[in-house]
Chain A
Amino acid sequence: MKLLFQDIDEPGLHTLEVYERRGGYKMLRQALGSAPEEVLHEIELSDIRGRGGAGFQMGKKASFIPKGAMDKYLVCNADESEPGAFKDRELMQKNPHQLIEGLIIGAYAAGVNRSFIFIRGEYAYQADILDAAVEEAEAAGYLGEAILGSDHDLSLVVHRGAGAYIAGEETALLDSLEGKRANPRLKPPFPAITGLYQGPTLVNNVETLSTVPHILRLGGEEFAKIGTETSSGTKVVSVSGSVQRPGNYEITLGIPAREIIYGLAGGPPEGREVKLWFPGGSSAPVLTGDDLDLSYDFDTLAKAGSMLGSGSIIVVDDSVPVVEVAKKVAKFYKHESCGKCTPCREGTNWTVKMLDRIDSGEATPMDLDILASVQDQIIGNCLCVLGDSMAMPIGAMVAKFREEFEAHIEAARERNQETTAVPEPIPLRGVNAGYAGAYPPMTAVEEMG
């Protein structure tokens, strides 16, 4: 079943003309004809869970927004920076009006008059398309004052970020939108009560909002019948890594993961097996090849100890050492940690150092226990889940591939002994080469005063 991706490659779908010809903005007219409470009720009936990562019911979130006359905000989170996720990019690039229509309906349901789309700065092409689409929608009277003759006003600003994974965290996103460094805030109060400019703020993912017109078209109850009981609807999954046909696929929630990885994406190249896979972006605890028959929905994956997250599947085949995957994951989170909370700032840093030791043959199997305990100390101890996002997959990798880690340590140690007694400094290469010369050379200096 295709909802969001129906005829996604139709030429000119990103223009208002083609979108309207395909029946676009009809649902907005219908929504404006009924009371906001009815629209909200319909969204609640659909049981749609947020597509950005947390999987919280959108209807419930919107119902937390207080009623009454005050400045309320809706922010569309288009800061898609999770490794492995690229669904919002395609949705915004090819069908921006679908998002804008959903956003206007969502704003109407929640009684919001100011909205923003926070798009990551790297998506310059997509942001240009959104800018053009917003302009068209304004000219057609879908945005601005008294939308289509109703008494609802809505302004929409496309705000471009400047490159920070943490800005995708909802409270950090609000700080970033206020023009600050993207540091997460303490919760509660949640953004629905105190968010952007201290006003009630609804933060929703691109895909969630893009689904809203389809919910109204099908009716909330009908929509809830798609998928499984607790995971309703369709989901755009981004499949990448060791697969033959990487890309975005719209699936009905609840189909087996094997069907996505092997059926749609073609599986790993010939002669390779799935060694491990991230079911929901790099922050989801990894699953192994044995878990491929799990149903792909929120609850099944949660029960299996992982999560659906943003629906981004990264497949790693059996030729890639798990230590390399762990290093890539840890380095990413170390780089993106904003530095506000100690467990995350220090934990990500030390995890990278320990993984480097494992790789260079200086570690002992005991280091794996220390590595695992560092992950335990991060989880749940920070303002946001960035640290957890590293700790969970790394912890799962150490738990599930401990033998391989130990073999890696042993192999690296033996290799070191064969060559030199004292390890030579490892020349910087790959990603690390960028750091060469960035800092003054290390020298031993006299005792500091």
Chain B
Amino acid sequence: MSAADRTALAAGVRRYSHGSRVPGWDDSVDLDKDPAAVPDPASTPVPEELRATIERSMRKYPDRRSAAIPALAAAQAFHGYCSPEAIDQVACVMRLTPGYLVSVATFYDMFKTDDRGSHDVFVCTNISCSIQGADDVYDAMMEAAHDDDAVNVKPFECLGACDIAPMASVDGIYVGPLLVEDTQTIVEDLHAGRAVLEHKQLRLRRSADLEANSERFERDAPPAFEAREGGADPVREPAAGSAGPRMRGVDAIDQAAAPDPPLPRDENPADADGDEPAEADGAEEDDR
């Protein structure tokens, strides 16, 4: 192959503007700088509160390095994200190099290494949720928060709440099953400082297993939930996704097919809560 051929070939290879075919491989590396050493306590002021939290974490483990993740989480809570300053402060208290902590912080999904707003909305887009329409919920969530710097919307892998699919974790609080309309409410609730979608929070959910409870226990519910009793219970309304809760791609491939009929999601009392009359439960058991 001649040199000219090689040049022609190389020109045909698409590259990112930093010259690599791989995006962002050297994002965290500044080759002009010396490797950072363990920060000097004299020149690295650490907020007292943060220092105390980190030191408390370090005391829990036989090896202080085990506290790296809790310490980074504390720094992220304090600073809003794992900023270089936050990393330096953790490194200073833990006597580790910032490089080590950056390697940890960039590995885990919950750490933010850039400022993405004070509220995190993780929308689950894994199998179970996307079967129930999570991709639409995610798009709607992006739309609802797209000009909002305070809300960081992120597609997330399985959050471990497939029973309330499609769901999202809003500042660590699990809510679902979500309708596309709920995304606007989430943003409004976050700005108002209210509890997010209180009636759809996971913690209120009773076990789906009808036989798990030998007696009927009163639900431990917040007032907001009680207020909705008698009226439409949003938890039990058909999820938006269930009318056409299909993953992306069905319509694209199968356009000729007739549209799916709307599907009732569940008429079963046990799914969302146990407020139905006892006879309903009994009837259900008879069915089986």
| Option from A162, A445, A447 in Cβ contact (under 8 Å) with B69 | A162
Tell me, yes or no, whether B34 is within 8 Å of chain A by CB: no
Which residues of the other chain, A, contact B263 by a CB distance below 8 angstroms? 269-272
Are B17 and A242 closer than 8 Å at their CB atoms?
A: no
CB of A9, distance to nearest CB on chain B (Å): 5
Q: Which of B163, B215, B217 gathers most chain A CB within 10 Å?
A: B163
Q: Give bound CA distance, A250 to B89, whole Å.
A: 47
Tell me, yes or no, whether A240 is within 8 Å of chain B by CB: yes
Q: Which of A163, A241, A245 gathers most chain B CB within 10 Å?
A: A245
Q: Give bound CA distance, A313 to B259, whole Å.
A: 28
Which residues of the other chain, B, contact A161 by a CB distance below 8 angstroms? 69, 108
Are B246 and A319 closer than 8 Å at their CB atoms?
A: yes
Q: Give bound CA distance, A125 to B264, whole Å.
A: 31
Tell me, yes or no, whether A89 is within 8 Å of chain B by CB: yes
Q: Which of B208, B213, B271 gathers most chain A CB within 10 Å?
A: B208
| Option from B73, B158, B207 in Cβ contact (under 8 Å) with A8 | B207
Tell me, yes or no, whether A189 is within 8 Å of chain B by CB: no
Which residues of the other chain, B, contact A86 by a CB distance below 8 angstroms? 160-163
- Interface 9-residue window, one of B46-54, B60-68, B222-230: B60-68
**Which residues of B in the span 162-213 have a Cβ within 8 Å of any Cβ on A?**
162-165, 169, 172-174, 202-203, 206-209, 211-213
Are B65 and A122 closer than 8 Å at their CB atoms?
A: no
Are B62 and A238 closer than 8 Å at their CB atoms?
A: no
Q: Mark A72-102, 1 if CB is under 8 A from B, else 0.
A: 0000000011111110111001100000000
Q: Which of A122, A441, A447 gathers most chain B CB within 10 Å?
A: A122
CB of B247, distance to nearest CB on chain A (Å): 4
Q: Give bound CA distance, A441 to B17, whole Å.
A: 7
Smallest CB gap from A445: residue in B: B15
Tell me, yes or no, whether B88 is within 8 Å of chain A by CB: no
Q: Give bound CA distance, A332 to B207, whole Å.
A: 28
Which residues of the other chain, B, contact A17 by a CB distance below 8 angstroms? none
Are A442 and B242 closer than 8 Å at their CB atoms?
A: no
Which residues of the other chain, A, contact B155 by a CB distance below 8 angstroms? 430-431, 434
Q: Mark B7-22, 1 if CB is under 8 A from A, else 0.
A: 1001111111111000
| Option from A125, A181, A197, A314 in Cβ contact (under 8 Å) with B174 | A125
Q: Give bound CA distance, A314 to B158, whole Å.
A: 12
Which residues of the other chain, B, contact A179 by a CB distance below 8 angstroms? 63, 65-69, 104
Smallest CB gap from A249: residue in B: B209
Q: What does DSSP make chain B's interface, helix, strand, loop or mixed?
A: loop
Q: Give bound CA distance, A251 to B208, whole Å.
A: 13
Tell me, yes or no, whether B84 is within 8 Å of chain A by CB: no
Tell me, yes or no, whether B154 is within 8 Å of chain A by CB: yes
Which residues of the other chain, B, contact A249 by a CB distance below 8 angstroms? 208-209
Which residues of the other chain, B, contact A60 by a CB distance below 8 angstroms? none
Which residues of the other chain, A, contact B11 by a CB distance below 8 angstroms? 444, 446-447
Q: Mark A306-326, 1 if CB is under 8 A from B, else 0.
A: 000000101011011101110
| Option from B125, B128, B271 in Cβ contact (under 8 Å) with A240 | B128
**Which residues of B in the span 121-163 have a Cβ within 8 Å of any Cβ on A?**
122, 125-128, 130-131, 135, 138-139, 142, 154-163
**Which residues of A in the span 110-149 have a Cβ within 8 Å of any Cβ on B?**
114, 120-125
Which residues of the other chain, A, contact B161 by a CB distance below 8 angstroms? 86, 89
CB of A34, distance to nearest CB on chain B (Å): 29
Are B213 and A447 closer than 8 Å at their CB atoms?
A: no
Tell me, yes or no, whether B32 is within 8 Å of chain A by CB: no
Q: Mark A402-438, 1 if CB is under 8 A from B, else 0.
A: 0000001001100100000000000001110110001
Q: Mark A339-377, 1 if CB is under 8 A from B, else 0.
A: 000000000000000000001000000000000000000
Are A162 and B209 closer than 8 Å at their CB atoms?
A: no
Are A439 and B217 closer than 8 Å at their CB atoms?
A: no
Tell me, yes or no, whether A336 is within 8 Å of chain B by CB: yes
Are B271 and A114 closer than 8 Å at their CB atoms?
A: no
Q: A122-B159, A182-B107, A443-B17 are in contact. Are A429 and B131 (CB under 8 A)?
A: no
Tell me, yes or no, whether A150 is within 8 Å of chain B by CB: no
How many residue pairs bridge A and B at CB < 8 Å?
A: 282
CB of A442, distance to nearest CB on chain B (Å): 5
Q: Give bound CA distance, A325 to B126, whole Å.
A: 9
| Option from A9, A124, A178, A415 in Cβ contact (under 8 Å) with B207 | A9
Tell me, yes or no, whether B282 is within 8 Å of chain A by CB: no
Are A430 and B138 closer than 8 Å at their CB atoms?
A: yes
Q: A86-B160, A411-B253 are in contact. Are A269 and B265 (CB under 8 A)?
A: yes
Are B24 and A439 closer than 8 Å at their CB atoms?
A: yes
Are A80 and B160 closer than 8 Å at their CB atoms?
A: yes
Tell me, yes or no, whether A157 is within 8 Å of chain B by CB: yes
Q: Mark A225-251, 1 if CB is under 8 A from B, else 0.
A: 000000000000010111011111110
Are B209 and A164 closer than 8 Å at their CB atoms?
A: no
| Option from A7, A80, A165, A444 in Cβ contact (under 8 Å) with B212 | A7
Are B212 and A163 closer than 8 Å at their CB atoms?
A: no
Q: Give bound CA distance, A155 to B7, whole Å.
A: 65
What are the 7 A-B residue pairs with the smallest beta carbon separation, nearest first? A247-B208, A240-B162, A163-B109, A179-B68, A162-B108, A269-B263, A163-B110
Sample of 12 A–B contacts (CB below 8 Å): A7-B217, A121-B110, A159-B66, A160-B69, A163-B109, A241-B162, A245-B266, A282-B126, A316-B131, A323-B249, A430-B155, A441-B17
Chain B residues within CB distance 8 Å of chain A? 6-7, 10-19, 23-24, 60-63, 65-70, 72-73, 103-104, 107-111, 122, 125-128, 130-131, 135, 138-139, 142, 154-165, 169, 172-174, 202-203, 206-209, 211-215, 217-218, 220, 242, 245-250, 252-254, 260-261, 263-266, 268, 270-271, 274, 288
